[in-house]
Chains A and B, each alone.
Chain A
């Protein structure tokens, strides 16, 4: 890949557990992967597969036990002076980030990060307003309101704005859709799409296959610290047996279509959307209906 913003080469990582020998099993084993600039990559796997361990290498929260991680031309962990620069370029939104909101106004919450960057008041203001705009919470309406009066989805977008105000090139999202209702998810996903149009590379950790199917263009499946499958969603979801082996369920639509195929309905293996599924089943059924009559 010519323009990889993240390059992971032969990375292994073992947690330094003092007492517990069982925890000394490597959490990552010889991982090699590249994430293209401007893409949306999803890291999927069951609890304990190593996905959180892996993404924590992307902003230097963890340093590889062996191998190297290069993020936006910075080799992680080689020079400690670079680490701060790296963390500004790589924004990390944890699970349930709305739990981290604490200020009296939305403006103050989003301004908290930039205030620690030695910026002028005007620069801080520009960044806050821009970030609020990016997450679809225009300042005129929202800046002076309390974050605690918002819906769950809006609160999550305030937390996202706080990360965006640091102007990252890469955004890591840990389970962005968990706990949101349909509307909250839809708005959050639209927001992620609009960030990609601005050139921000998105890395998401998810076990919601429908979420992954709608957002990501590259999937990496981890299992017990190994990278076991990688590819475009279409190709990965066409391997339901392998996914199940790694404890993952393919999206319900893929699973339905797979059962139909196994029982003899001639459907293509890489159907992803309801429109495609509808078209191909209607096609098959009409042929059957007309040949019966």
Chain B
């Protein structure tokens, strides 16, 4: 299958500009090659400063490479004329939903980007309803965003992006400020958007427990992709993940120790539920 990837990194290097006359900055991305296929669920893991957000920001031209190319649906992100279409193709949500919520009523917020793109009123109304339904906020459409919980606000931010009908959504640490239950809710929503609409998802996080159901996991360190593979492959080496300053979820650590001690637990059991089943069988 030689389908063109949705996002194609070709030898991408990037260093943030330095203020003052300090030493040459270490590149935040070092010669990255990466292809993301349409419909893929990709997770990018790494500790703070590993380069994962920098990589994510190259996927929709928020940053452009110092050298190399990023192609999104065949469009070069350095081509200024394509950037608007690139950002409609690849939407992004961030750590702080409040930074991308602008209206004072939930449904107006979802409609905003559609309005400035000049879509007809009935098309806007239709998309707003569909989108609010998809993120399960339809019952709150007349609310003020300020009255929503953190998880609901993040769902609203997702709705704002989703209304533009992107082919890919990037969640850049979109759960890291949420309480555990809201966090699970957002991860489930991303999985559902992937399953039901075939959206490409790029889930950037430092939390291992959020990537267990991804199709492919990349682990970044110092601007390089250090490991990549299925979750079962990546999580086979917990010591290495720990050395990369990642927090190993307690159930996974417990399962690994029990396995070493001779209790039969399949290495494919990554989630709490799966580990419980293994221990009871």
The residue in chain A whose Cβ has the minimal distance to the Cβ of B179 is A207
A285 to B261, CA, bound (A): 11
Task: Give 20 A-B pairs besides A151-B49, A182-B206 with Cβ atoms closer than 8 angstroms.
Answer: A46-B149, A46-B181, A47-B150, A47-B179, A181-B247, A182-B247, A207-B179, A207-B180, A208-B180, A247-B181, A251-B250, A252-B209, A256-B254, A259-B276, A260-B276, A265-B279, A277-B254, A281-B258, A281-B279, A285-B263
A209 to B245, CA, bound (A): 20
Asked if A249 is at the interface of the complex by the 8 Å CB criterion, the answer is yes
Q: Are B181 and A178 closer than 8 Å at their CB atoms? A: no
Q: A47-B150, A151-B48 given as contacts; is B272 within 8 A of A256 (CB)?
A: yes
Q: A181-B245, A182-B245 given as contacts; is B276 within 8 A of A256 (CB)?
A: yes
Contact with A along B242-279 (1 / 0, CB 8 A): 10011101110110011001010000000011011001
Asked if B66 is at the interface of the complex by the 8 Å CB criterion, the answer is no
Q: B250 contacts which of A179, A252, A263 (Cβ < 8 Å)?
A: A252
A-B contact count (CB 8 A): 94
A48 to B148, CA, bound (A): 10
Q: Are A183 and B47 closer than 8 Å at their CB atoms? A: yes
A285 to B149, CA, bound (A): 43
Query: Which residues of B from 212 to 255 have beta carbons under 8 Å from A?
Result: 242, 245-247, 249-251, 253-254
Q: Are B181 and A248 closer than 8 Å at their CB atoms? A: yes
The residue in chain A whose Cβ has the minimal distance to the Cβ of B206 is A181
A182 to B275, CA, bound (A): 23
Asked if B80 is at the interface of the complex by the 8 Å CB criterion, the answer is no
Asked if A253 is at the interface of the complex by the 8 Å CB criterion, the answer is yes
Q: List 24 A-B contacts (CB under 8 A).
A: A47-B149, A47-B150, A152-B48, A152-B49, A153-B48, A179-B48, A182-B206, A183-B245, A184-B48, A247-B179, A247-B181, A248-B181, A249-B180, A251-B250, A252-B250, A252-B272, A256-B275, A256-B276, A259-B272, A260-B280, A263-B276, A278-B257, A281-B279, A285-B279
Q: Are A252 and B251 closer than 8 Å at their CB atoms? A: yes
Give min CB distance, A186 to chain B, whole Å.
9
A255: chain B residues at CB < 8 Å are 272
Asked if A274 is at the interface of the complex by the 8 Å CB criterion, the answer is yes
A156 to B47, CA, bound (A): 16
Query: Which residues of A from 170 to 194 have beta carbons under 8 Å from B?
Result: 178-185
Interface of B toward A, CB cutoff 8 Å: 47-49, 95, 149-150, 176-177, 179-181, 184, 206, 209, 242, 245-247, 249-251, 253-254, 257-258, 261, 263, 272-273, 275-276, 279-280
Give min CB distance, A144 to chain B, whole Å.
15
A182: chain B residues at CB < 8 Å are 47, 206, 242, 245-247
A182 to B176, CA, bound (A): 13
Asked if A210 is at the interface of the complex by the 8 Å CB criterion, the answer is yes
Asked if A78 is at the interface of the complex by the 8 Å CB criterion, the answer is no
Question: Secondary structure of the B side of the interface?
Answer: helix
**Which of B246, B263, B272, B275: most chain A CB closer than 10 A?**
B263
Contact with B along A248-280 (1 / 0, CB 8 A): 110111011001100111000000001001100
The residue in chain A whose Cβ has the minimal distance to the Cβ of B252 is A252
Q: Are B177 and A46 closer than 8 Å at their CB atoms? A: no
Q: B181 contacts which of A151, A249, A274 (Cβ < 8 Å)?
A: A249
B177: chain A residues at CB < 8 Å are 178-179
B275: chain A residues at CB < 8 Å are 256
A interface residues, tally (CB under 8 Å): 37
Q: A178 contacts which of B176, B249, B254, B263 (Cβ < 8 Å)?
A: B176
Q: A182-B246, A248-B181 given as contacts; is B280 within 8 A of A263 (CB)?
A: yes
B245: chain A residues at CB < 8 Å are 181-183
7 tightest Cβ-Cβ pairs between the two chains A and B: A181-B47, A253-B250, A207-B179, A249-B180, A182-B247, A181-B48, A183-B245
The residue in chain A whose Cβ has the minimal distance to the Cβ of B151 is A47
Give min CB distance, B211 to chain A, whole Å.
15
B49: chain A residues at CB < 8 Å are 151-152
A215 to B263, CA, bound (A): 31
Give min CB distance, A106 to chain B, whole Å.
17
Asked if A61 is at the interface of the complex by the 8 Å CB criterion, the answer is no
A252 to B49, CA, bound (A): 26
Give min CB distance, B194 to chain A, whole Å.
23
Q: A181-B245, A182-B247 given as contacts; is B272 within 8 A of A274 (CB)?
A: no
**Which of A151, A179, A181, A259: most chain B CB closer than 10 A?**
A181
B149: chain A residues at CB < 8 Å are 46-48
Asked if A228 is at the interface of the complex by the 8 Å CB criterion, the answer is no
The residue in chain A whose Cβ has the minimal distance to the Cβ of B208 is A182
A182 to B45, CA, bound (A): 13
Q: Are A46 and B279 closer than 8 Å at their CB atoms? A: no
A181: chain B residues at CB < 8 Å are 47-48, 206, 245-247
Asked if A33 is at the interface of the complex by the 8 Å CB criterion, the answer is no
A241: chain B residues at CB < 8 Å are none
Q: Are B48 and A253 closer than 8 Å at their CB atoms? A: no
Q: Are B251 and A253 closer than 8 Å at their CB atoms? A: yes
Q: A182-B47, A182-B247, A183-B47 given as contacts; is B254 within 8 A of A278 (CB)?
A: yes
Give min CB distance, A291 to chain B, whole Å.
15
The residue in chain B whose Cβ has the minimal distance to the Cβ of A250 is B180
Q: Are A179 and B272 closer than 8 Å at their CB atoms? A: no
Asked if A16 is at the interface of the complex by the 8 Å CB criterion, the answer is no
